[in-house]
Amino acid sequence: MSRIWMLGDNVNTDVIIPGRYNVTTDRAQLARYCLCEVLPAFGQQVQAGDVVMAGHNFGCGSSREHAPAALLASGVQVIIARSFARIFYRNAVNIGLPVLVCEDAVLNSIDGQEIEADLTTGIIRNRTTGQAFQAEPLDPFVERIVAAGGIIEYIRQEGTLR
Amino acid sequence: MGTLTEEIFSHKLGRAVEQDETVVVDVDRVMSHDTTTPLAIQAFRKLTRGDESGGRSGRVFDARRSHIVFDHIIPAATIAAATLHRDVRTFAREQDISILQEGICHQVMPERGYVIPGDIIVGADSHTCTYGALGAFATGMGSTDIGVAYATGRTWFRVPRTINIRLTGTLPFGVYAKDVTFEIVRQVGVDGANYRAIEYSGELIERMSVSERFTFCNMAIEMGGKAGLVAPDATTRAWLQGRTDRQYPMLAPRNPRYERVIEIDASQLQPTVACPPDVNNVVPVGELETVEIDQVFLGTCTNGRLDDLAIAAAILRGKTISPRTRMVVIPASREIYLEAMRLGYLEIFVQAGASVGTPGCGPCIGRHNGVLAPGERALTTMNRNFTGRMGDPTSEIYLGSPATVAATALTGHITDPRKFL
Ligand code: SF4
């Protein structure tokens, strides 16, 4: 049972975790205030495995990693967006927060529906409507980092960055 | 063969790279500043602690090519900032890194000769793209990436596609590099260059100083750009003279395949202002003359250089600023500060009623040196006008050229600089 939390375009890092809360690196604190200004119920009601969906340019703004860290701490399984801001995308991959790009899934889903996402195949199934979508494939290098659970784990496994 | 970005990557890797290909490269320099270093240290320690694989026993890859700059809150304005500085100093001492405390990272790195054409540089700050003005590939990253780069001297990139901005014509009276940059952002949009590099070329760019090129490349990120670049030429060489004695390749695009080419004739432009809350919200200055301004700010990595101060000093010479506004001036580096002092600019600003501050970021991120109260409005030479960036969440920021900022200081409302030039 994974619920969709739907957001619009240009959700910036200050919306994901407002600046006044990003002085902390405490995961519980970050999770509690994650998206508090746009989705006030999110911090209380999000369940492990839920999915955040968004429009274009998700995560624009600052290069600080509190934004993906807050989403990761909140337990969401994956972020599915029409597009991501570059630095956010890298930061998410680096800390092991899965991200998928899929126009169709976002355009054909609404907040509160049930969803299933297979991270290895990129197949996204909206269980409420029964529709299935294929996310854009990950770059093979990015896929390896994601599989390792983040870049630090990846380098530990490989012994170096290559 | 390829864009300047592809040429730089091909040169580094010793083989031809292609757009969209993922590569792992050695970086020439790694940079972080007082507010981003603590998290980078965390990632660095996580990676190097307890690692038996030799060569990475908790040391940075090369202390001479690792740079920590204190610029965001200097001198420390709060106990929290002072504590953060203390902890970063401890790390720097442990790693034999010398901390630079003489201005904004993006000004100090090039001034010190740490940026040369063909370099690949990563920094824990989104405006690291500024260094592309010297023909380097430089980009901002998050702290985990920077921690990894400090530990390994390497990073991964997807070789980006490139948008070419071709600038022609001559700058009309009262129009500056900043106004041209606003026009570029207006046309490309705030995410139009996401994942892409931007290469600036054309006769106008060729005639421009390195300082003006910094202004263009600095704001590549305001379009989502990964990097902003200008191919090195005689102007670049002259600027680097005396700053570095390292050899560098004069790389240039060769039969480049650009994703998009945008041509702008600067002769058609007029002085403009970027209105809150987005940088592409560009309006001719004449339409905003009724907007009252509580504070003007001249400085930052976008426009805190000697030529910027010179323009403002010419407007303010022998005058005093309007009693209904206040003015903050922060030279981008110590080198600029000293030169502005010798040339008498600082005296002009102080006589006019401005406060002149220590080289650094100043109030750009709303931590000190002139923060805004609820509902206040500022006109600044900064690169970002996100609501609340300079203080209270309801305070607003307008962006303009140094000339527009100086003219506005005299009247207290947004003013066309041509009236005072
Ligand atoms: S001057 Fe402003 S934009 Fe430039 S590095 Fe400092 S805080 Fe960032």
Q: What is the sign, positive or negative, of the torsion defined by CA atoms of B239, B244, B247, B248? A: negative
**Tokens 């050695």 belong to residue:** B26
What gap in Å lies between CA A149 and CA B7, rounded to an integer? 33
Ligand 1 centroid to residue B361 C-alpha, Å: 5
What gap in Å lies between CA B68 and CA B88, rounded to an integer? 9
CB contact under 8 A, A94 and B144: yes
Chain A: give the shortest CA distance to residue B169, in Å: 33
CB contact under 8 A, B224 and A10: no
Angle at which helices A151-158 and B143-152 cross, to 10°: 20
Locate the chain B residue with the closest alpha carbon to A87: B141
Chain B: give the shortest CA distance to residue A141, in Å: 7
Q: Which long-range contacts (CB under 8 A, 24 or more apart) does A28-35 make?
A: A28/A73, A30/A66, A30/A69, A30/A70, A30/A73, A30/A74, A31/A70, A31/A73, A31/A74, A31/A75, A33/A70, A34/A70, A34/A71, A34/A73, A34/A74, A35/A5, A35/A7
* Whole-complex ipTM: 0.88
Residues 6+ apart with CB under 8 A from B189: B223, B280
What gap in Å lies between CA B368 and CA B370, rounded to an integer? 6
Is B26 in the A-facing interface, judged by CB distances under 8 Å?
A: no
CB contact under 8 A, A64 and B39: yes
**Tokens 């580096």 belong to residue:** B333
- Calculate the alpha carbon distances from B290 to B170, B293, B338, B408 in Å: 29, 9, 36, 11
- Calculate the alpha carbon distances from A141 to A98, A111, A161, B123, B218 in Å: 14, 32, 11, 22, 29
First and final CA of chain A: distance in angstroms? 38
Chain A: give the shortest CA distance to residue B41, in Å: 13
What gap in Å lies between CA B156 and CA A141, rounded to an integer? 9
Please indicate whether residue B104, judged by its CB atom, sits closer than 6 Å to ligand 1. yes
Give the mean pLDDT of A105-124. Answer: 95
The per-residue b/e assignment along B320-345, b for 16 or more CB within 10 angstroms, e otherwise, is ebbeebbbbbbbbbbbbbebbeeeeb
Torsion (CA) B355, B357, B362, B367 in degrees, nearest 10: -80
Interface list for B 383-412 with A (CB within 8 A): 386
User: Which of B220, B104, B107 lies closest to B162 in space, CA to CA?
Assistant: B220
Torsion (CA) A107, A109, A110, A116 in degrees, nearest 10: -140
Q: How many CB atoms lie within 10 A of CB B81?
A: 19
CB contact under 8 A, A90 and B22: no
> Which of A58, A89, A152 to mutate to probe the B interface, most B CBs <10 Å?
A152
Please indicate whether residue B127, judged by its CB atom, sits closer than 6 Å to ligand 1. yes
Please indicate whether residue B198, judged by its CB atom, sits closer than 6 Å to ligand 1. no
On chain B, the residues whose CB falls within 8 A of the CB of A85 are: 191, 194, 224
User: Which of B49, B37, B36 lies closest to B90 in space, CA to CA?
Assistant: B37
CB contact under 8 A, A65 and B158: no
- β-pairing, B326-329 with B355-356? parallel
Chain B: give the shortest CA distance to residue A55, in Å: 13
At B13 the three-state DSSP class reads helix
How high is the pLDDT of residue B376? Answer: 97
pLDDT band at A18 (very low <50, low <70, confident <90, very high): confident
Contact B19, B159 (CB under 8 A): yes
pLDDT band at A159 (very low <50, low <70, confident <90, very high): confident
Indicate the range of A3-12, A33-42, B270-279 predicted with least confidence.
A33-42
Is A3 in the B-facing interface, judged by CB distances under 8 Å?
A: no
Provide the CB-side half-sphere exposure for B319 (13 A, CA). Answer: 16
Structure tokens at B6: 């592809």
Contact B94, B128 (CB under 8 A): no
> Taking chain B (421 residues) in consecutive chunks of 10 residues, what is each chunk's mean pLDDT?
96 96 96 93 86 60 98 94 94 96 98 98 96 98 95 96 98 98 97 94 98 98 96 98 97 97 98 96 98 98 98 98 98 98 98 98 93 97 90 94 98 98 92
In one-letter notation, the amino acid at residue B108 is V
On chain A, the residues whose CB falls within 8 A of the CB of B156 are: 141, 161
User: Which of B351, B307, B362, B306 lies closest to B329 in space, CA to CA?
Assistant: B362
Is A62 in the B-facing interface, judged by CB distances under 8 Å?
A: yes
Element holding A159 (H helix, E strand): none
Element holding B71 (H helix, E strand): none
Bond into B323 cis (ω within 30): no
How high is the pLDDT of residue A23? Answer: 62
Indicate the range of A4-18, A127-141, B368-382 predicted with least confidence.
A4-18
How high is the pLDDT of residue A27? Answer: 80
At B35 the three-state DSSP class reads coil
Q: Among B126, B194, B224, select the one facing A63 at the smallest CB separation.
A: B126
Chain A: give the shortest CA distance to residue B69, in Å: 17
Give the mean pLDDT of A108-137. Answer: 95
CB contact under 8 A, A90 and B145: yes
What gap in Å lies between CA B236 and CA B183, rounded to an integer? 24
| Full-model pTM | 0.92
pLDDT band at A24 (very low <50, low <70, confident <90, very high): low
Structure tokens at A71: 């989403």
Contact A155, B152 (CB under 8 A): yes
What gap in Å lies between CA B74 and CA B258, rounded to an integer? 41
State residue B396 phi and psi, 5-degree precision.
Answer: -115, 150
Contact B315, B322 (CB under 8 A): no
pLDDT band at A161 (very low <50, low <70, confident <90, very high): confident
Which residue is closest in CA terms to ligand 1's atom 4? B301
Residue B23 DSSP label: E
Q: What is the sign, positive or negative, of the torsion defined by CA atoms of B5, B119, B67, B158? A: positive
Q: Report the nearest atom of ligand 1 relative to the CA of B106.
A: 5
What gap in Å lies between CA B346 and CA B324, rounded to an integer? 21
The per-residue b/e assignment along A7-18, b for 16 or more CB within 10 angstroms, e otherwise, is beebbbbbbbbb
Structure tokens at A73: 């701490």
